[in-house]
Amino acid sequence: MENNKRYEAGIRAMEELFSQEVRNGMEGIKKVSPDFWDMIVSFGFGDLYSRESLSLSQREIITLTSLITQGAFEQLKVHLQAALNVGLTKEEIIELIIHCAGYVGFPKAVQAMGIAGEIFNKNE
């Protein structure tokens, strides 16, 4: 079935991006709304992250930038780790945040850099 393919592609993308522990945490949403969980997996990760034309590390550049710009700092933590998991270096992430300072202003960039520091420490 078509929908199963989308769901399965989403699960595979999530396995590349997130640790088992993070994926378990995300499943909390499944208890509140199984339908929403299905959308997150099938659409968010299956339809979007599984597409070609951009690599997973390019996709995380886009994701990090969008999260910083909208001030979504809870999600930023998870995706900073995902960015490292799919091959972005600390240096590239720091550079991304510095570039963002000119586009979103210093308050959000400073907050993002502080969170990046925490995530980098966990990876040492």
Q: Residue 85 Cβ, how far from a copy of itself at the closest point, in Å?
A: 17
Q: Applying CB under 8 A, which of residues 69, 77, 81, 86 lies at the interface with a copy of itself?
A: 69
Binder of a copy of itself out of 20, 21, 32, 124 (CB under 8 A): 32
Q: Shortest gap between Cβ of 16 and a copy of itself (angstroms)?
A: 15
The Cα-based distances of 83 to 10, 13, 50 in angstroms read: 17, 13, 15
Report the run of H or E that residue 122 belongs to, with start and end. helix 106-122
**Residue 65 in contact with residue 58, Cβ under 8 Å?**
no
23, two tokens: 């994926």
Give contact residues for a copy of itself (rule: CB under 8 A).
Answer: 1-3, 28-29, 31-33, 35-36, 39-40, 43-44, 47-49, 51, 53-54, 58-59, 61-63, 65-72, 74-75, 91-92, 94-111, 113-114, 116-117, 120
